Structure 1
Amino acid sequence: MTKKIFFIASLLLFFITACKQEKKVNKTKLQGLVFGTTYHITYLDNVDYQKSIDSLFYIVNKSLSTYIPTSDISKINKGDSTVVIDDLFLEVFQKSKRIYKETDGYFDPTVCNLVNAWGFGYKREKKDLDTLQVNELMKQVGLDKVSLKGRNIQKQFKDACLDFNSIAKGYGIDVVGRFLESKNVTNYLVEIGGEIRAKGKNSRGAYWKVAIDDPNADGTRSVSRFIDLNNQSMASSGNYRKFRVGKNGQKYVHTINPKTGFATESNLLSATVYGEVDCADVDAYATAFMAMGLEKSKEFLNKYPRIKAVLLYADKDGKIAEFSN
């Protein structure tokens, strides 16, 4: 009898242990520095893809980084019309063309020279531009003035330059996400500098939960709300941290308005955009919204309901208010 009880107890222990082992999920976490910021990648698989992902970061930089003098985009910006663009550059260029049209030109990578002149680009010039200087640089602005002939970029103005920094980080996330999917990894979260692409669920079987920051200008961090990402990408943009004060005491923000050429704030404090689209797309939309301001952004969201957003702005009393769709 004692042996029988012992056998049953042992069998029960075996089944309990087996069930626990079945519920155990293999999770891999990778982190480091890339694109001038940090990255965190979590996926449900026990294979370490670090070397492959490092290689992907390398080819994205080689194609699209304005901070690398030998990259394809840097050569093109210097006037080399013989550069044969790769598939990555081609996709980003074509996405930019589409989003340029969708946002009525509020997303425009050709503000490159203005971004540099105002002190927020790779040249860090930090000028306090007057209207005449802005108007002169505005002649080069307009993605419709840049075209593709075969695999060569054609510029209407030879000194015009492209800056994909407001879409390339999101695109880099997409490249990593697509790679993981090619390895049959269906549950992952890729985050670079606060931009995110999430697929499937986390190790607890729940959708990936991410935070939206409050627009704190004093450098502190606090959370406005949390969002569950259900096979979605998310990107945020705000001028409350990235700004400088000129010699004249004027505040200049990093979002350059492609319509005016000036580095002045709209009435939006921050824009967090998410949806079942590529991270490159929401990255670009978030930048466009900061230039558009609240009302034009709301009009856009009404026209494109698949895109969701949380827009934080200052109301007439100076208090932080929120719009979401």
Structure 2
Amino acid sequence: MPNKPTAFFAALLLLPALAACDKTPQTVTLQGETMGTTYTVKYLPPSSGKTPAAAKLQQQIDEALEEVNRQMSTYREDSEISRFNQAAAGETPLAVSADFAEVTAEAIRLNRITQGALDVTVGPLVNLWGFGPGKEVVKEPSAEAIEAAARVSGIDKIALSQNGTQAMLAKTENGVYLDLSSIAKGFGVDKVAATLEQAEIDNYLVEIGGELHGKGHNAQNEAWRVGIEQPNIVQGGAAQIVVPLNNRSLATSGDYRIFHTDAHGKRLSHIINPQTRRPISHNLASISVVADNAMTADGLSTGLFVLGEQAALKLAEAENLAVFLIIRDQDGYRTAMSSAFRKLVTEHKP
């Protein structure tokens, strides 16, 4: 599964330990690799002592993430999503796992909320512009090629149904290609969180490639906090704003890590606008979204990023979404936030 880029503006803000104390609980940190990126899990072992050993817990986490890849990685020819993409229209609908169905259903729901901006069927256009699994840098596609790819794109070209307890997925056109990378990494965060919950761990922070979910408190008995950093962090800038994550998730989308440059020197983002059928090109550098779960935050961050600054803020106000934007302008960068985001950070100042 490709690593959907996340903002270098979003990074874990580690709180300093002011003094050692025997009564201070010890934070356990687990790290590994998944979905073309890395993960970090921090947690406080519960006082019950029922938590598995760290090595055993990490094995359970790795197994949960491996299952997500087995289901939804377009880089694996034998994954569920690859088998669906290889299937022809008109064939018997493909039986899919409950998790695969859950992620697809959420992608369909978020497509409606974002007015079509999040579209997990634009894979043919993504591949055409050179951002697919092959990652081949190509010249701008012809109008005919773009039109051909667009004919097999669109959320209306997939059909998710339930046959008793079995979820089924079908396509209406040959060539329809499903890519859940804009939402599956967040789902991976949620699966890790569920693994920790099953181990009776109530205080933890999970991060996969910049997508996060926090619950409970850290060793200083404070809510887990994440710093969204200003763009000049690469020159040593300080955190722009601090977001508390108490049973909340944060995801960020941006266009600065994966892009091509065309013959005229114009940046072509890896994120395709389903309406224009072209890589997005606007002044929004990144957008961070806080939601109840990482899957939803992940999908919303992509959809709202496609919409651009004004449309994203308008939708965020209408839907009461907590979003924070970093915008390029002629003087460098500026920031904006929705009312829900402002309320979140002002009500939970340390």
2:319 aligned with 1:281: no
What letter corresponds to residue 142 of structure 2 in structure 1?
Answer: D
Give yes or no for the alignment of 1:139 onto 2:151. yes
Instruction: Note closer, same or farther for the CA distance 1:261–1:36 as it changes in structure 2 (3 Å cut).
Output: same
Partner residue of 2:345?
none
Give the 5 Å matches for 1:21-32.
21=22, 23-32=23-32
Shift of 1:85: 0.5
Q: C-alpha root-mean-square deviation of aligned residues, in Å?
A: 2.0
Q: Which position in structure 1 is the counterpart of 2:348?
A: none
Larger radius of gyration: 1
Residue 136 of structure 1 aligns with an amino acid whose one-letter code is A
Cα distance between partner residues in 2 of 1:87 and 1:124? 30
Q: 1:269 aligns with which of 285, 291, 314?
A: 285
Instruction: Output the TM-score relative to the length of structure 1.
Output: 0.87
Aligned to 1:88: 99
Cα distance in 2 between the residues matched to 1:215 and 1:120: 24
What residue in structure 1 maps to residue 72 of structure 2?
64
Map 1:1-325 to 2 at 5 A.
Answer: 21=22, 23-45=23-45, 47=52, 48=54, 49-79=57-87, 83-127=94-138, 128-149=140-161, 150=163, 151-215=167-231, 222=237, 223-275=239-291, 277-305=292-320, 307-315=321-329, 317-325=330-338
Alignment gaps of 5+ in structure 2: 1-20, 46-50, 339-350
C-alpha distance after superposition, 1:224-244 (max 9, x if no partner): 332222221000011022211
1:248 positional shift: 4.8
Q: How far did 1:219 drift?
A: 7.1
Q: Give the AA of the match of 2:180.
A: F
Whole-Å separation in 1 of the counterparts to 2:160 and 2:175: 17
Q: Is the 8 A contact 1:215 1:270 kept in 2?
A: no
Give, in whole Å, the separation in 2 of the partners of 1:245 and 1:207: 41
3-state DSSP of counterpart to 2:273: coil
Once residues 281 and 140 of structure 1 are traced to their aligned partners in structure 2, the CA distance between those partners, rounded to angstroms, is 25
1:29 is displaced (CA, Å) by 0.9
Alpha-carbon offset, residue 189 of structure 1: 0.4
Counterpart residue identity of residue 292, structure 1:
L
Superposed CA deviations along residues 67-93 of structure 1, whole A, max 9, x for unmatched, are 111100011111165532001101001
Shifted more, 221-230 versus 89-98: the winner is 221-230
**Does the Cα contact within 8 Å between 2:213 and 2:294 map onto a contact in 1?**
yes
SS in 2 for 1:167: helix
- Tell me the distance in 2 between the aligned counterparts of 1:26 and 1:159: 52
Counterpart residue type for residue 320 of structure 1: Y
Q: What residue ranges of structure 1 are gaps of 5+ in the alignment?
A: 1-19
**Could you tell me how far apart the structure 2 residues matched to 1:160 and 1:25 are?**
51
In the superposition, relative to structure 1, how do residues 320 and 107 fare at CA in structure 2: closer, same or farther (>3 Å)?
Answer: same
Distance 1:188 1:103, change over 3 A: same
Q: Distance in 1 between matches of 2:170 and 2:213?
A: 32
Aligned residues: 301
Give, in whole Å, the separation in 1 of the partners of 2:235 and 2:289.
22
Sort the Cα spacing of 1:239 and 1:139 in 2 relative to 1 into closer, same or farther, 3 A. Answer: same
Give, in whole Å, the separation in 1 of the partners of 2:255 and 2:236. 15
Structure ranking higher on relative contact order (CA contacts 8 Å, 6+ apart): 2
Shift of 1:110: 0.4
Task: Please report the TM-score for the alignment, with normalisation by the length of structure 2.
Answer: 0.81
Measure the CA separation in 2 of the matches of 1:26 and 1:184.
16
The one-letter code of the counterpart of 1:30 is L
Q: Are the counterparts in 2 of residues 116 and 126 from structure 1 also a CA contact under 8 Å? A: no
- Quote the offset at 1:32 in angstroms: 1.2
Following superposition, the deviation at residue 137 of structure 1 comes to 1.1
Worse overlay, 242-251 or 60-69: 242-251
